[in-house]
Structure 1
Amino acid sequence: MSIRMIAIDIDGTLVNSQRQLTERVKTTLAAARDKGVKIVLCTGRPIPGVEPELKELGLVSDEDYVITYNGSMVQNVGTKDVIFSADLKPADYIDVNAMAQKLGVHLHVSSTDAIYTANRDISPYTVHESWLVHMPINYRTADEMVQYPVPMIKMMMIDEPAILDAAIAKIPDDFRERYTVVKSAPFYLEILHPGASKGVALSQLASHLHMTADEVMAIGDNENDLTMIDYAGIGVAMENAIPEVKKAADITTASNDEDGVALVVEKYVL
């Protein structure tokens, strides 16, 4: 069965180490679109953080879709209609914030309009996320987060990689059962609704578009890409992917600095 949709992670996959889209990747994806293949960016970023790549690839029409917040939202790019969403609630903030404090790491909340933090000394990793996804940072006390809640799409435990890894090792199993917990970068651990993941979001979109998993290719490099690589008929790992992703994938392509996305699309789709 031919591939009708390609889901592509952004950081470490679609863009190179300089966060650039190469001409070969752009040309190859344009050729796939000309064949009628849906190109779906599937990212941990919110909508504002993915708009530059969507525009550069021309994925801005009512026929285009994007998966954001690590699978917590599926949206039509042109109409802004939400196809699928799975938000967290104020009670979840109380639970996750308590765990972050117990583990000794920072926490911030990704909403639809901003990044919210209860840390007076704002973490440099919150600042980095703000820069990366083109969203402002708003300070709220922990009590205000609960009393005057904003849409809580995902929460992120953030800290120096060694500190975060030590904290991750101490997260109890019952916490992982209550949430989807995925590492998206050495300094980011993302906490999502238990019904949210890139794999779930991709299956929701495929169903919406009357496609089967066999007609989907998914390409990624990190832990948060595992579920969509497992779901897709062809799961692809970048050469720069973590070992768990390479083990789960059907194929390993070249790295993001060697046009790996273009190479695998040229071979299996064009």
Structure 2
Amino acid sequence: MTIKLIAIDIDGTLINSHHELTTRTKEAIIKAKEQGVKIVIATGRPYPGVANILKELDLEDKGDYVITYNGSLVQECDTKKAIVSHGLSYDNFIEIEALSRQLGSHLHSIDRENIYTANQHISPYTIHEASLTGMPLYYRAVDQMTRNMEIVKMMMIDEPTILDEVISKLPSWFTDKYTTTKSAPFYLEVLNKQANKGIAVKELADYLGIKQEETMAIGDNENDLEMIEYAGVGVAMANAVSKLKSAANCETLSNDEDGVAVMIEKQLN
């Protein structure tokens, strides 16, 4: 079966450990697009945090799509219009914030344009997220958040050992109600239950009339698990976590060895 859509994670997958797109990877993606394959970046980042990559890969045209916020949004690359949106309500925000404080984790919230934190001592990992995405960061007390805000996702953030302890204490009602996914050792993302990369890839494929067996997904971390499981061909990077490797159909080279390019080139030959 010919692959018609390839969903690709960014960090630890598309870019190398120096946060660079290699020439080989760029050429493979551009060639695949020219041959009619839908190349879809699937990331936990917001649109501003992926815009430069989309431009570098020539993925900003009409008919190009990007999955952002770990599946909370599927957007048109030319207009940024969302064709799929699964956000969080104000009541969700209040509930998540209260539990985060109870368990002792830092937290920030993200809408389509900004990052907000109620922590007066702002976590360096929140600052890192703002730097990575290029989004403005604001201190905003809980009582300053309003019902008309369109929160896309929230993130519990802390030193890895602290965060792992917090995760171990999450009540079952919470993990049943929300999608929780670890995108880095210091990030636990909290999303609408209908938001994950696997659901987003399926919704986009259905929108485009592409069959499940005609899709491929490439990733390295736990937040890529659902799209690896959904795709007709699920590919784990050599540097992927063991849980992802167990779920994948096959493994490619690491992100420092052009593993994404290797898989795309195999599809084109």
Could you state the TM-score of these two structures normalised by the residue count of structure 2? 0.98
CA contact (8 A) 1:219 1:235 kept: yes
CA contact (8 A) 2:202 2:212 kept: yes
Q: Please say which of residues 96-105 and 126-135 is displaced more in the overlay.
A: 96-105
Q: Distance in 2 between matches of 1:126 and 1:249?
A: 31
1:210 corresponds to 2:209? yes
CA distance in 2 between counterparts of 1:113 and 1:16 reads 26
CA apart distance, 1:223: 0.6
1:125 alignment partner in structure 2: 125
| 1:210-229 equivalences in 2 (<5 Å) | 210-229=209-228
2:267 paired residue number: 268
Q: 1:171 corresponds to which residue?
A: 170
- In 2: Cα distance, 1:82 partner to 1:90 partner: 20
Shift of 1:148: 5.2
User: 1:239 corresponds to which residue?
Assistant: 238
Amino acid across the alignment from 1:234: V
- The answer to whether structure 1 residue 106 and structure 2 residue 106 are counterparts is yes
Letter aligned with residue 119 of structure 1: N
Deviation at 1:215, TM superposition (A): 0.6
- Alignment check: 8 A CA contact 1:2 1:269 kept: no
SS of residue paired to 2:67 = strand
- Distance in 1 between the 2:225 and 2:128 partners? 24
CA distance in 2, matches of 1:4, 1:195: 24
1:80 maps to amino acid: K
Q: Is the 8 A contact 2:89 2:147 kept in 1?
A: no
CA distance in 2, matches of 1:148, 1:38: 37
Alignment deviations for residues 12-57 of structure 1 (CA, whole Å, 9 cap, x no partner): 0000001100001011111111210011000000000000100000
- Count the aligned residue pairs: 269
Describe the superposition over 1:127-175 as per-residue Cα deviations: whole angstroms up to 9, x where unpaired: 0000000101011111112x35421000000000110011111111111
The 5 Å alignment of 1:1-270 reads 1-145=1-145, 147=146, 149-270=148-269
Q: What one-letter code is carried by the residue in structure 2 that aligns with 1:194?
A: K
Q: Could you tell me which amino acid in structure 1 is paired with residue 52 of structure 2? A: P
Whole-angstrom CA distance in 2 between matches of 1:101 and 1:151: 22
Q: Tell me, what secondary structure is at the counterpart of 1:167?
A: helix
CA distance in 2, matches of 1:32, 1:62: 16
Q: Deviations over 1:216-240 (max 9, x none)?
A: 1000000100000011000000011
- Mind listing any 5+ residue stretches in structure 1 that lack a counterpart? none
Taking the aligned partners of 2:190 and 2:266, their CA distance within structure 1 comes to 35
State whether residues 88 and 193 of structure 1, in contact with CA within 8 Å, keep that contact through their aligned partners in structure 2: yes
Alignment partners' CA distance in 2, 1:149 and 1:132: 26
State the alpha-carbon separation in 1 of the partners of residues 163 and 5 from structure 2.
35
Q: Is the 8 A contact 1:182 1:191 kept in 2?
A: yes
- Paired residue secondary structure (2:170): coil
Native 8 Å contact 1:3 1:269 kept in 2: no
Q: Displacement, 1:210?
A: 0.5
CA distance in 2, matches of 1:149, 1:210: 34
**Gapped runs of 5+ residues in structure 2?**
none
Opposite residue 72 of structure 1, the aligned amino acid is S
